[in-house]
């Protein structure tokens, strides 16, 4: 079993149930949009998927590795872009990537080769020696996406990666990541609350109040409705 | 090189780069003990008479007495500053990057400890160099022997910081740590006055000082600076270090869900 699989995942913060029996799977090479309003439980799900914290309820399998039983093998297979930027702003793009490569045990020529390839992939090569602080929001994001590719992951997790970006940049980043799933066969889980980032061919999982309301291809789910309307109807009815 | 060592090198290098960039932090770290050495010690010298106790073989001035304590102070403050930066990293998200590395979490935290200890050692040697220029010199072997003592003290106090950082929810709470941890630890120790002097005024205070791990870290440094070995101090410092490290690793256990507080 490859790709990403989540089975009956539950999590609670004290009395507040953040995730209720969440189950879904994303096949290899599939772009899956996780659509949910703010507070739906997307960030909790991402924290569990990246093992920032764990829960005894449910199972997560990443590229065939059970996150509980083989956490290190599973973590080695994911590339993460968190909602909040995690670049060291005082370091150059290249240094940021070198640091990350080292955290994954890569150094020397091998790391340099992979960093070059990742920067090329995101058209960021010419900015490699700029400080992260001097980059605009779009380029910072692209740097982070390049960074999450260095260790050759099978599954990309992106938590609202376009927050705070203008429309054109948002489009460019969304296209880049769609490319990664289409051309490079990466499994992508893309959390967002913006319907216009989702394509008809994408898998769509709608999360609301910690529960999954829908899970199918976007085209099949929305039918003749605009996705934004479908989403509002679905979450509005349940709210 | 193994992945674990590659990560260690990168984490130490990052900490060192950050330290070099923050020149203000370096200067503050030096000015603090120097103020004690040059200003406070001058005032206290007249008030405090020190008898000859090991490791000292002759009558010592107060300035000489507090040098090891001030080395301990540097390590203590740096350990706390480093844990402060961990809380900051957590709020800023870069902690997440560290913790999603496929290396074991305990190793990543130990790397942070080694990194912060290296910075402490650098600061202490700079301080000792200025103290030497000021006229307070130590036996040359002392400058060598103090290195392992500083490393042990650094890891112990760094582990304390790490444990605290796992308990603190937000950056703002760190002022409380300053008041309730750093200052009591520093003042209730043998850094500024010998324990027998403390016993003269209060047995209770003396006993508190005697169990304070910082006292033992300071004594370890003090004896090492005079090329001597204090087994008791070593045992206490290591013991405290192991306990604090275990506490810190527990604090960062993903099943405890530390990071979840800042969603």
Q: What is the ipTM of this complex?
A: 0.84
Nearest-Cα residue of chain B relative to residue A47: B260
Rounded to an integer, the average pLDDT of B21-48 is 81
Distance to chain A for B4, nearest Cα, Å: 6
Q: What is the pLDDT of residue A130?
A: 94
A43 touches chain B (CB under 8 A): yes
End-to-end CA distance of chain A: 35
**pLDDT tens string A15-58:** 888 999 999 999 999 999 999 888 888 889 998 999 988 888 89
Cβ neighbors of A134 (< 8 A, separation 6 or more) are: none
Q: What is the pLDDT of residue A199?
A: 92
What is the CA angle A80-B86-A136, rounded to 5? 50
Q: Provide the mean pLDDT of chain A.
A: 91
On the question of pLDDT at B59 being above 50, the answer is: yes
Greatest CA separation for chain B? 59
On the question of pLDDT at B172 being above 70, the answer is: no
Distance to chain B for A226, nearest Cα, Å: 31
SS3 state of residue A24: strand
CB pairs under 8 A between A and B: 90
Q: What is the pLDDT of residue B262?
A: 41
Q: Provide the mean pLDDT of chain B.
A: 86
Burial, B197: exposed, middle or buried (Cβ in 10 Å; 0-12, 13-18, 19+)?
middle
**pLDDT tens string A84-132:** 888 988 889 999 999 999 999 999 999 999 999 999 988 899 999 999 9
Q: In terms of Cα–Cα distance, which of A112, A71, A48 is closest to B103?
A: A71
On the question of pLDDT at B72 being above 70, the answer is: yes
On the question of pLDDT at A205 being above 90, the answer is: yes
- b/e for A152-187, b at 16 or more Cβ within 10 A? ebbbbbbbbbbeebeeebbebbbebbbebbeeeebb
Nearest-Cα residue of chain B relative to residue A100: B97
* Cβ contacts of B94 on chain A, cutoff 8 Å: 86, 88
* Cβ contacts of A44 on chain B, cutoff 8 Å: 260, 263
Nearest residue, CB atoms, A50 vs list B18, B100, B256: B100
On the question of pLDDT at B148 being above 90, the answer is: yes
Most confident of A37-46, A176-185, B148-157: B148-157
Domains of chain A listed by start with CATH number = 1-77+154-239 (3.40.50.300), 86-152 (no CATH)
Distance to chain A for B83, nearest Cα, Å: 17
Kindly determine whether residue B102 and residue A105, on different chains, have CB atoms separated by under 8 Å: yes
């Amino acid at each position: 079993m490859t790709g990403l699989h989540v089975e009956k995942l539950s999590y609670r913060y004290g009395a507040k149930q953040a995730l209720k029996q969440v189950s879904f799977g994303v096949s290899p090479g599939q772009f899956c949009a996780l659509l949910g309003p703010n507070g739906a439980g997307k960030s909790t799900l991402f924290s569990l998927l990246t093992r920032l914290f764990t829960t005894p309820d449910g199972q997560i399998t990443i590229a065939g590795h059970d996150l509980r039983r083989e956490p290190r093998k599973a973590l080695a297979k994911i590339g993460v872009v968190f909602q909040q930027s995690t670049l060291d702003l005082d370091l150059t793009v290249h240094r940021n990537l070198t640091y990350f490569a080292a955290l994954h045990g890569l150094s020397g020529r091998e790391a340099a080769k992979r960093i070059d390839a990742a920067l090329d992939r995101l058209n960021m090569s010419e900015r490699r020696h700029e400080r992260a602080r001097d980059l605009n929001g779009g380029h910072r994001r692209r740097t982070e996406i390049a960074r999450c590719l260095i260790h050759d992951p099978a599954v990309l997790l992106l938590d609202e990666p376009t927050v705070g970006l203008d429309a054109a940049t948002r489009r460019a980043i969304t296209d880049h990541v769609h490319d990664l799933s289409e051309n490079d066969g990466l499994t992508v889980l893309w959390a967002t609350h913006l319907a216009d980032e989702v394509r008809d061919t994408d898998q769509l999982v709608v999360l609301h109040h910690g529960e999954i309301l829908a899970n199918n291809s976007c085209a099949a789910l929305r039918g003749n409705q605009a996705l934004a309307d479908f989403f509002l109807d679905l979450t509005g009815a349940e709210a | 090189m193994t992945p674990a060592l590659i990560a260690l090198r990168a984490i130490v290098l990052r900490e060192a780069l950050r330290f070099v960039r923050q020149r203000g932090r370096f200067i503050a770290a030096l000015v603090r003990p120097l103020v004690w050495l040059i200003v406070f010690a001058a005032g206290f010298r007249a008030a405090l008479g020190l008898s000859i106790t090991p490791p000292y073989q002759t009558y010592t001035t107060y300035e000489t007495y507090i040098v090891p304590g001030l080395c301990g102070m540097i390590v203590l403050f740096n350990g706390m500053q480093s844990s402060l930066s961990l809380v900051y990293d957590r709020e800023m998200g870069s902690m997440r990057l560290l913790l999603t590395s496929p290396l074991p979490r305990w190793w990543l935290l130990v790397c942070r400890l080694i990194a912060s200890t290296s910075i402490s050692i650098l600061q202490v040697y700079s301080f000792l160099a200025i103290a030497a220029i000021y006229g307070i010199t130590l036996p040359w072997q002392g400058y060598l022997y103090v290195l392992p003592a500083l490393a042990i003290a650094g890891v112990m106090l760094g582990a304390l910081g790490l444990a605290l950082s796992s308990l603190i929810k937000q950056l703002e709470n760190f002022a409380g740590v300053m008041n309730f941890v750093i200052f009591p630890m520093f003042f209730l120790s043998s850094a500024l006055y010998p324990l027998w002097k403390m016993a003269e005024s209060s047995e209770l205070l003396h006993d508190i000082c005697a169990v304070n791990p910082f006292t033992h870290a300071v004594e370890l440094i003090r004896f090492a600076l005079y090329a001597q070995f204090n087994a008791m101090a070593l045992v206490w410092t290591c013991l405290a270090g192991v306990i604090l490290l275990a506490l810190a690793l527990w604090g960062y256990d993903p099943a405890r869900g530390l990071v979840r507080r800042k969603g």
